[in-house]
Chain A
Amino acid sequence: MRLNPKITEKIAFAFLFLSTLVIVVPVILITIELLKNGMSVMSWKFLTESPRMGMRAGGIFPAIVGTVYLIVLTILFALPVGILAAIYLSEYARDHWLSKIIDVAIVNLAGVPSVVYGLFGLGIFVTFLNFGTSIVAGALTLSIMSLPVIITSSREALGTIPESFRESSLALGATRWQTIRRIVIPNALPGIITGAILALSRAAGETAPILFTVAAFYLPHLPKTIFDQCMALPYHLYVLATQVPNVKAGVEYGTALVLVAMILILNLMAGAIRSHFRKKKQW
């Protein structure tokens, strides 16, 4: 039996549309849920005060600050290392056996559950390197977790630079490094940054990697150095939801809303960078 192409077209369209709905509807529902329940506690005080009464009241300021610290420090660690590794792998060691092994390693690392990174961080940074439970240990753990994604997306960005640019630069007597620095990196940077931000926005919302390495259950004051512990939004949320009885419902949702908003801001930044440079790009 042959179906009328017009009918198959309709059926195909319906399936494609439904699949899209399956993705979009939960996102919309989550957002509505968060806004409906979280907006009630949202206030300047909620954002700028410490928790009170065993975290049943007050604000979430230390957790926001802690998460910002972690994000910034993770960027400082992971971005340079990730970019340099990606450059080495795709510009210098292209067909080297080592880079093929590293390729396989990276793909597999990207699939390792985040709690394993948490345990790794505990073993290496907290205990072995003796950083203790601290912001550095947490940020390093998040960096290690983000690196495979950053390296992969950076390599993709480097791969979009036409070979002819490299060739003509070399033909003009530039060394490889001069070619990379003057031609390859400036043109790949928007793509690299976009990928890195997306990797970090994922890291920012993770609980498991910071659970053993940095997160404080409750700290009334802000960290003074990067060797202090700090609170962090994802872990605070976990604590509120599982460890503290009788929390006002809005507090949990408000905390989640702030976390999601921060991640959304990161993603919007990535999108803005990408679309800004896509307009300029001509090849």
Chain B
Amino acid sequence: MRKEEDPKKPGAIRVENFNLYYGNFQALKQVNLEFQHREVTAIIGPSGCGKSTLLRSINRMNDYMDQVRTEGQIYHENRPVYGPGVDLVEHRKKVGMVFQRPNPFPLTVYENVIFGCRLHLELSRSELDSRVEKSLMSVGLWEVLADHLDQDALSLPNEQQQRLCIARLVAMNPDVLLMDEPCSALDPIATQRIEELIHELKKDYTIIIVTHNMAQAARVSDWTAYFYLGNLIEFGRTEKIFTRPEKKETEDYITGRFG
């Protein structure tokens, strides 16, 4: 399924022959896909095609649903994500997820940022302080919130909440960021600023972003994967997918003939 255009290093995340079933319904069908280090991959496709399901599979958020069954394997840095002996906590520290709706905890800004650190690390107050500063800095919130660290995170505007959710991940030094339609609850200006942030973050993190916004995929991503009804239809360089797609279905979707 993968079209090699340029020689690639082994990816940060590799999905191999992956199937996922919700009960009898197969939501992902024999997916093979590789996500490159420190590049942005956009996952696009009509609603219900399995974009969120794939993203959730990568950090195993589907574990908590009844009746979910998977086949195949996903590798993170060549280590399997599914199977006995996988340390889920360790995995999720490295592979963080940003959700569709900003969902900070009903805690202060400070406590939100270090929530993960408090769980996994024994850090002194000053180490925590510096993590908070660094993380907020990297999502562009430090200037705004440096003097409001005690503010209730739920009182922030939507865009800042979403940035805070990213900062919360960044604080744990992950290497992959999964984003499920991170801008869908934001206005156009906030969306643009988050896109700029994604551009910044790409220097340090491998990013996989689900979006139903074609223009956004074209703007932020290096690679694009087009899904339809649980099948990976086409995967390749974003500029190629958007200018010379190989498959008729991809072209139809991108040009807005359906979806």
Residues of chain A touching chain B, judged by Cβ–Cβ distance below 8 Å, are 95, 162, 164-165, 167-175, 178, 182-183, 187, 281-283
Answer yes or no: B152 CB below 8 A from chain A CBs: yes
- For residue A93, give the distance in angstroms from its CB to the closest CB of chain B: 12
Assess the B93–A168 pair: CB atoms within 8 A.
Answer: no
> Chain A residues near B116 (CB, 8 Å)?
172-174
> Chain B residues near A169 (CB, 8 Å)?
105, 115
Main secondary structure of the interface of A (DSSP, over half): helix
Residues A167 and B103 in contact in the complex (CB < 8 Å), given A95-B66, A172-B168, A173-B89: yes
A105 to B92, CA, bound (A): 39
> Chain B residues near A167 (CB, 8 Å)?
61, 99, 103
> Chain B residues near A168 (CB, 8 Å)?
97, 99, 103, 105, 165, 168
Residues A178 and B165 in contact in the complex (CB < 8 Å), given A172-B92, A282-B154: no
Answer yes or no: B255 CB below 8 A from chain A CBs: no
Assess the A172–B106 pair: CB atoms within 8 A.
Answer: no
A260 to B99, CA, bound (A): 50
> Chain A residues near B89 (CB, 8 Å)?
173-175
* Number of residues on chain B facing chain A (CB within 8 A): 28
- Chain B 91-109 near chain A by CB (<8 Å), digits 1 or 0: 1110011010101011000
User: What would be 7 A-B contacts, judged by CB atoms less than 8 Å apart?
Assistant: A162-B103, A165-B106, A171-B92, A172-B115, A173-B120, A281-B106, A282-B154
Contact of A173 among B93, B152, B154 (CB under 8 A): B93
Inter-chain pairs besides A171-B92, A182-B119, 16 sampled, C-beta below 8 Å? A164-B99, A164-B103, A165-B105, A168-B168, A169-B105, A171-B97, A172-B168, A173-B89, A173-B93, A173-B116, A173-B120, A174-B116, A174-B119, A282-B152, A282-B154, A283-B154
- For residue B230, give the distance in angstroms from its CB to the closest CB of chain A: 22
- Chain B 103-130 near chain A by CB (<8 Å), digits 1 or 0: 1011000000001100110000000000
The 3 closest A-B pairs by CB, nearest first: A173-B92, A164-B103, A282-B154
- For residue B160, give the distance in angstroms from its CB to the closest CB of chain A: 14
Contact of B103 among A165, A187, A281 (CB under 8 A): A165
- B155: nearest chain-A partner, CB-CB: A282
- For residue A169, give the distance in angstroms from its CB to the closest CB of chain B: 7
Answer yes or no: B88 CB below 8 A from chain A CBs: yes
- B91: nearest chain-A partner, CB-CB: A173
Residues of chain B touching chain A, judged by Cβ–Cβ distance below 8 Å, are 59, 61, 64, 66, 88-93, 96-97, 99, 101, 103, 105-106, 115-116, 119-120, 152, 154-155, 165, 168-169, 172
Assess the B88–A172 pair: CB atoms within 8 A.
Answer: no
> Chain B residues near A165 (CB, 8 Å)?
103, 105-106
A174 to B61, CA, bound (A): 12
A85 to B93, CA, bound (A): 31
Contact of B106 among A95, A174, A283 (CB under 8 A): A283
- For residue B100, give the distance in angstroms from its CB to the closest CB of chain A: 9
A279 to B89, CA, bound (A): 35
Assess the B172–A172 pair: CB atoms within 8 A.
Answer: yes
Assess the B61–A183 pair: CB atoms within 8 A.
Answer: no
> Chain A residues near B101 (CB, 8 Å)?
164
Residues A183 and B66 in contact in the complex (CB < 8 Å), given A170-B61, A174-B119: no
- For residue A186, give the distance in angstroms from its CB to the closest CB of chain B: 8
> Chain A residues near B66 (CB, 8 Å)?
95
> Chain B residues near A182 (CB, 8 Å)?
115, 119
A169 to B107, CA, bound (A): 12
> Chain B residues near A170 (CB, 8 Å)?
61, 64, 92
- For residue A94, give the distance in angstroms from its CB to the closest CB of chain B: 9
A184 to B89, CA, bound (A): 19
> Chain B residues near A162 (CB, 8 Å)?
103
- A165: nearest chain-B partner, CB-CB: B105
- B153: nearest chain-A partner, CB-CB: A282
> Chain A residues near B169 (CB, 8 Å)?
172
- For residue B88, give the distance in angstroms from its CB to the closest CB of chain A: 7
- B97: nearest chain-A partner, CB-CB: A171
A283 to B90, CA, bound (A): 30
- A187: nearest chain-B partner, CB-CB: B106
> Chain A residues near B88 (CB, 8 Å)?
173
Contact of A178 among B97, B103, B119, B152 (CB under 8 A): B119
- A281: nearest chain-B partner, CB-CB: B106
A168 to B180, CA, bound (A): 12
> Chain B residues near A282 (CB, 8 Å)?
106, 152, 154-155
- B178: nearest chain-A partner, CB-CB: A171
A92 to B115, CA, bound (A): 22
> Chain A residues near B168 (CB, 8 Å)?
168, 172
A169 to B120, CA, bound (A): 12
- For residue A282, give the distance in angstroms from its CB to the closest CB of chain B: 4
- A172: nearest chain-B partner, CB-CB: B116
